[in-house]
Amino acid sequence: MMTTELHPSAQSWQDTNGVLLRHDGDAVDDEWVYRGLTDEGEKVLEHIEATLGLERLVKLGFVPTERTRQPVSGTGLRTVLRHRRVKRVIYPMEWTMSMWREALAAFCDLSLGLMEHGLCLVDAEPHNFLFDADGRPVFIDFGSLRLRGKNYWMRPGWHREFKDNFLLPILLHNAGLHQLAQAVKGEPFETAFKRTYRWSAVALVTIWPDLLRWTSKLSGNPRLYFRVIKRRLARPGLGLEITEWSDYETQGGEWGSWKQAAVEESLSMPGIGSVLDVAGNKGRHVFEAARRGFTTILTDIDEVSLEAARAEAHKRGLRLFVGQLDICRPTPPWGKGLLMENSFDRLGADLVLALAVSHHLVRNVRLPFRTFAAILDRYSRRYILAEYVDVADVHVKKWVGKRGFPPTGYSEREFTAAFAALGYRAVRTWHDVPRARLLFLFEKP
Amino acid sequence: MITTPPSSACGPSPDRAGRTTPSDECDVRLDPASWLDEHGVLLRGDDQEWVYRALTDKGEAVLRHIEAGPGLAKLGGLGLVETERVENPRSVPHRPELKTMVRHRRIQPVVYPTEWTPVMWQEALAFLCRFMEGLASHGLALADAHAFNILFTPQGRPVFIDFGSLRVARRRFAVSRGWHRELRRDFLLPLLLQKLGCRQLASTVACEPATGFVKQHYRFSPLLLPTVAFDALYELARLFRRPGLYLRGVEQALCGKRLAPDQTSWTNYAATGEGWKGDFVRALLEQITDAPSVLDLAGNKGTYALFAAKLGKRTLLADIDAASLDQARATAQRDGIPLLVALTDLCYPTPPRGLGLLRPGPYERFQSDLVMALAVSHHLAFRRKVPFHTFAEIISRFARRYIITEFVGLGDEHVIKWLNKGRQPPSGYSDDQFTQAFADAGWRVVKRSVRPDGHRTLYLFERRPD
């Protein structure tokens, strides 16, 4: 446990229950996040301890939380809680639609549980959930807990927030408007679309939750509301968007073994504690990292593949963080003052894997190798394992001459030069001669 | 120190013409944000005044066409950013085959189109149309119609910065259909929406990347209808091979009448305590000589920004109210003061964008030696629930050396009005918490001045050396 003094964190929202705290300077406690409570927050904590207890709160889906005795600088806050830190933050705009549904189910369960004990959640925000490496959503915002009656949930303001922030992407997705659902999912705060959709045809898909709210309110049964929402919107197995990558099998047999051997050798390099696979499809290369106990993150643009990876990790009992992310379009910082971190800072790792992806990016979005290298560099803390696919490759040679492929400078020399320009040196190379593919393990000293 | 371009920023000055540039002594590196361009790659050097571009064979052909025809100086007159050929350039790292290099005058700070006021959008469109027409008369054309290819100089003039977009026109009608479509999506759509009164949607569309939802799908919605007239105009101009008909038609339709931006509560905002505050701030701006760049956040009509600019400091005025910024620009242009403005919400600045987020966000682009944030912390605390430590963090990210800011106490006449309306002060709303928040963010108080009634305090903070 760190013993330095705590200060209010700039990222903390103005909250009547308390503020998030940070340590002096750049010190970060890897295990815990601290929260100082105001008088209002203390009342909530005392109520919880007198009724269901913090342990039971955790069983309802709350992040592991306990009291602690850490001094807080100059704020007058006496009571400090600490919450178990979820080691990688994947924001809702990076969740797959299945993860949205799971978070919604967890929200409904937590709400029903709290209702039993005279508590409620004043915020209906998906951002208050984080997915832990075991694939389970945990609720992290103690500041959202209030001592309120059961009818609080049925207030129009609360319901509007719940519908706009939590239900809308799922409702749109269920209505087949997949692209719109993706666009809305990516909106981190109230935008023109969320302010104006009520006057468009899109509002039709949101009518039934309004009717349900009225039914629950008139019958005095808020439980009905959450149960129906959960049954209709949060059940598993509802469709995901299938893309060209959903059944993409990059390689098999001996070739796959060759690549897997390179990955395993890279994982044995010194100083590796975390691994990120960008565009990792179904995650075949990261399971070994997870098996070795590294903090492992898998990102891809295709949610079907990511769900397959999550299922496989669950089956094997591996801890894996998963996020739906386009390698070319990382999540920018957002929120007040852009203080919520971008995906580079949240998901960065000691070793970054980028296999069988650079040639697709050059062909599909004309991404130059130096931009590709610059993106990976921002994710990487030390190593990058990247694959160069030559024009002689069996897949790539079919593209030659079409859509301006290959562009000027598509060469192995250009590929390695892009990383060299950023200060990397190739410490290991694997060459698959028949398929004209090369794997480079780059290290930044 | 970052040097602002001289007032004659476009076209080389006589003493520069023909001489060997100093860049053969300057190391350059590839810019990762540079697109995979058939005409060349962008390079950065250590000097802050120039950006370099190494040209491929295709780029060289364009340069030769320009030099044989109008010349770079004449293109500068049309609106191309000041550009000159680099004699005896050093070899480009990792691209030794690129032998020809030009350099462009660097304009700082960079204000993206997402931070332009509607009037600036109009000016940029009018400029682009005239630039394109001028190019067409010299057998040249533009490949792109991106708003990001235009920057505003501190003199308030738009310039075209993307030499890589220049092409030798192959057809008699230089305006390609692709260019028109891009212009329609990036320029006409947001301006038409603005004209039609859909201002919120217009600003959303203006901020969207080309892959954004509205830009991708507006063709399948009623939003397409207002743009149809421009399609017809284009086809007509193409039929008669008169690009001027199309370009001037677009300019007349969308830029002929100045757009009136939304009136917000800040448009007619009257600053409080001018005498006391003005004396303190002006004295500091004069005294602080080691702060060549100044950023005035939430600076409204730029009373202090204009003063700083007059002192010769590179000044940027940022505010949420477009009408106030337009007024500040008009004052600056009338008085010949170099001033850049940026439409920015202090709470929600434009995030970094583009492929790999390689186009930097406002903290990198607007970072200045001295940042002013006057009469704003109380508005943010009461109206938007921004705690002081968040406020201090935001201001800190913009500031390199100094911050001039203001604490407004609960006894102030404006705050009393809010309290009377039932608005509660955020927890920890006190002068001590205010200074503590800046102390936690790494700043120390150098100077303070309390208003005679004791309800407002101005601070000069300096970054602690650690």
Mean predicted confidence (pLDDT) in A348-375: 92
Position with higher pLDDT, B227 vs B71: B71
Calpha distance A332→A343 (Å, rounded): 7
To the nearest whole angstrom, how far is the Cα of A259 from the nearest Cα of chain B?
A: 26
Q: Is B386's CB within 8 Å of A336's CB?
A: yes
Which pLDDT band holds residue A23 (cuts at 50, 70, 90)?
confident
Q: B30 pLDDT exceeds 80?
A: no
Amino acid at A272: I
pLDDT tens digits, one per residue of A105-139: 999 999 999 988 889 898 888 999 999 999 999 99
pLDDT at B198: 80
Calpha distance B315→B337 (Å, rounded): 10
Considering only the beta carbons, identify the residue of B361, B385, B432 that sits closest to A14. B385
Q: Is B94's CB within 8 Å of A417's CB?
A: yes
pLDDT at B43: 86
Q: B172 pLDDT exceeds 50?
A: yes
Residues of chain B contacting A374 with CB distance shorter than 8 Å: 32-33, 356, 358
Statement: B274-463 belongs to CATH 3.40.50.150: yes
Mean predicted confidence (pLDDT) in B444-462: 95
pLDDT at B196: 84
pLDDT tens digits, one per residue of B58-72: 899 999 999 999 999
Give B25-105's CATH code, choosing from 3.30.960, 3.30.70, 3.30.200, 3.40.190: 3.30.200
pLDDT tens digits, one per residue of B3-24: 333 333 333 333 333 333 444 4
Alpha-carbon Rg for chain B in angstroms: 24
Which pLDDT band holds residue B179 (cuts at 50, 70, 90)?
very high
pLDDT tens digits, one per residue of A88-103: 899 999 999 999 999 9
Residues B261 and B117: beta-carbon distance below 8 Å: yes
Q: Is B390's CB within 8 Å of A38's CB?
A: no
Side-chain-side CA neighbours of residue A52 (13 Å): 18
Nearest residue in chain A measured CA to CA from B466: A25
By the CB < 8 Å criterion, does B27 face chain A?
Answer: no
By the CB < 8 Å criterion, does A11 face chain B?
Answer: yes
DSSP B411-446: TSHHHHHHHHTTPPPPTT-SHHHHHHHHHHTTEEEE
Considering only the beta carbons, identify the residue of B30, B201, B426 that sits closest to A421. B30
Calpha distance B305→B370 (Å, rounded): 11
B-proximal residues of A, 230-269, CB under 8 Å: none
Q: Output the six-digit token pair for A299.
A: 């990102």
Residues of chain B contacting A192 with CB distance shorter than 8 Å: 200-201, 203-204
Q: A75 pLDDT exceeds 80?
A: no
Residues of chain B contacting A378 with CB distance shorter than 8 Å: 356-357
Residues A426 and A442: beta-carbon distance below 8 Å: yes
Calpha distance B132→B150 (Å, rounded): 13
Residues A380 and A422: beta-carbon distance below 8 Å: no
Calpha distance A45→A78 (Å, rounded): 13
Q: Is B94's CB within 8 Å of A195's CB?
A: no
Calpha distance B231→A386 (Å, rounded): 45
A-proximal residues of B, 83-102, CB under 8 Å: 93-95
Which of A180-184, A243-247, A346-350, B57-61 shows the lowest mean pLDDT across its residues?
Answer: A243-247
Residues of chain A contacting B378 with CB distance shorter than 8 Å: none
Give the H/E segment covering residue B368.
strand B368-373
ipTM: 0.84
Supply angle C-alpha A103, A336, B353, rounded to 5.
85
pLDDT at A13: 66
Cβ partners under 8 Å of residue A405, min gap 6: A362, A363, A399
Q: Is A338's CB within 8 Å of B361's CB?
A: yes
Which pLDDT band holds residue A4 (cuts at 50, 70, 90)?
low
Nearest residue in chain A measured CA to CA from B390: A10
Nearest residue in chain B measured CA to CA from A409: B95
Which of A109-113, A399-403, B111-115, B216-220 shows the lowest mean pLDDT across its residues?
Answer: B216-220
Q: A416 pLDDT exceeds 60?
A: yes
Only one residue has tokens 């920023």, namely B9
| CA B287 to each of CA A272, B81, B120: distance values in angstroms, whole numbers, following the listed order | 51, 34, 33
Which pLDDT band holds residue A3 (cuts at 50, 70, 90)?
low
B-proximal residues of A, 334-373, CB under 8 Å: 334, 336-339, 342, 344, 362, 365-368, 370-371, 373
Nearest residue in chain B measured CA to CA from A408: B38
A-proximal residues of B, 348-387, CB under 8 Å: 348-349, 351-353, 355-358, 361, 363, 381, 384-387
Strand partners, A353: A277, A385
Calpha distance B133→A315 (Å, rounded): 64
pLDDT at B11: 33
Calpha distance B281→B274 (Å, rounded): 10
Q: Is A344's CB within 8 Å of B357's CB?
A: yes
To the nearest whole angstrom, how far is the Cα of B183 from the nearest Cα of chain A?
A: 21
Calpha distance B298→A337 (Å, rounded): 14
Calpha distance A321→A90 (Å, rounded): 8
Q: B27 pLDDT exceeds 50?
A: yes
Considering only the beta carbons, identify the residue of B95, B213, B351 that sits closest to A180. B213
Crossing angle between the packed helical segments B413-420 and B377-384, to the nearest 10 degrees:
10
Considering only the beta carbons, identify the residue of A9, A333, A413 that sits closest to B351. A333
Q: A344 pLDDT exceeds 80?
A: yes
Q: Is B36's CB within 8 Å of A19's CB?
A: no
Q: Output the six-digit token pair for A252.
A: 């098999």
Q: A2 pLDDT exceeds 70?
A: no
To the nearest whole angstrom, how far is the Cα of A346 from the nearest Cα of chain B?
A: 14
Beta strands in B229-297, from DSSP E residues, in sequence order: 293-297
Mean predicted confidence (pLDDT) in A367-395: 93
Which of B168-172, B353-357, B382-386, B445-449 shows the lowest mean pLDDT across its residues?
Answer: B168-172
Which of A370-379, B120-129, B353-362 shows the lowest mean pLDDT across its residues?
Answer: B353-362
Residue B185 DSSP label: I
Calpha distance B120→B339 (Å, rounded): 14
**H/E/C letters for each residue in chain A?**
CCCCCEEECCCCCCCCCEEEEEECCCCCCCCEEEEEECHHHHHHHHHHHHCCHHHHHHHCCECCEEEECCCECCCCCCEEEEEECCCCCCCHHHCCHHHHHHHHHHHHHHHHHHHCCCEEECCCCHHHEEECCCCCEEECCHHHEEECCHHHHHCHHHHHHHHHHHHHHHHHHHCCCHHHHHHHHCCCCCCHHHHHHHHCHHHHHHHHHHHHHHHHHHCCCHHHHHHHHHHHHCCCCCCCCCCCCCCCCCCCHHHHHHHHHHHHHHHCCCCCCEEEECCCCCCCCCHHHHHCCCEEEEEECCHHHHHHHHHHHHHHCCCCEEEECECCECCCCECHHHCECCHHHHHCEEEEEECCCHHHHHHHHCCCHHHHHHHHHHHEEEEEEEEEECCCCCCHHHCCCCCCCCCCCCCHHHHHHHHHCCCCEEEEEEEEHHHCEEEEEEECC
To the nearest whole angstrom, how far is the Cα of A281 from the nearest Cα of chain B?
A: 19
Considering only the beta carbons, identify the residue of B363, B392, B427 that sits closest to A38. B427
Q: Is B352's CB within 8 Å of A8's CB?
A: no
pLDDT at A156: 83
Alpha-carbon Rg for chain A in angstroms: 24
Crossing angle between the packed helical segments B303-310 and B274-287, to the nearest 10 degrees:
30
By C-alpha distance, which of A393, A384, A367 is closest to A420? A384
pLDDT at A26: 64
Which of A99-103, A351-355, A409-413, B424-428 shows the lowest mean pLDDT across its residues?
Answer: B424-428
- Among A184, A370, A403, A405, the strongest candidate for a mutation testing the B interface, having the largest count of B CBs within 10 A, is A370
Cβ partners under 8 Å of residue B96, min gap 6: none
Cβ partners under 8 Å of residue B148, min gap 6: B112, B113, B359
By the CB < 8 Å criterion, does B204 face chain A?
Answer: yes
Domain ranges of chain B: 25-105, 113-255, 274-463
Q: Are domains B25-105 and B274-463 of this chain identical in fold?
A: no
Q: B291 pLDDT exceeds 90?
A: yes
Q: Is B349's CB within 8 Å of A337's CB?
A: yes
Q: A58 pLDDT exceeds 90?
A: yes
pLDDT tens digits, one per residue of B384-437: 888 898 999 999 999 999 999 999 999 998 899 999 988 888 777 899 989 999
Side-chain-side CA neighbours of residue B135 (13 Å): 27
pLDDT at A61: 94
Calpha distance A121→A129 (Å, rounded): 12
pLDDT tens digits, one per residue of B309-364: 999 999 999 999 999 999 999 999 999 999 999 999 998 888 998 888 988 999 99
Considering only the beta carbons, identify the residue of B32, B361, B393 that sits closest to A370. B32
Q: Is A371's CB within 8 Å of B385's CB?
A: no
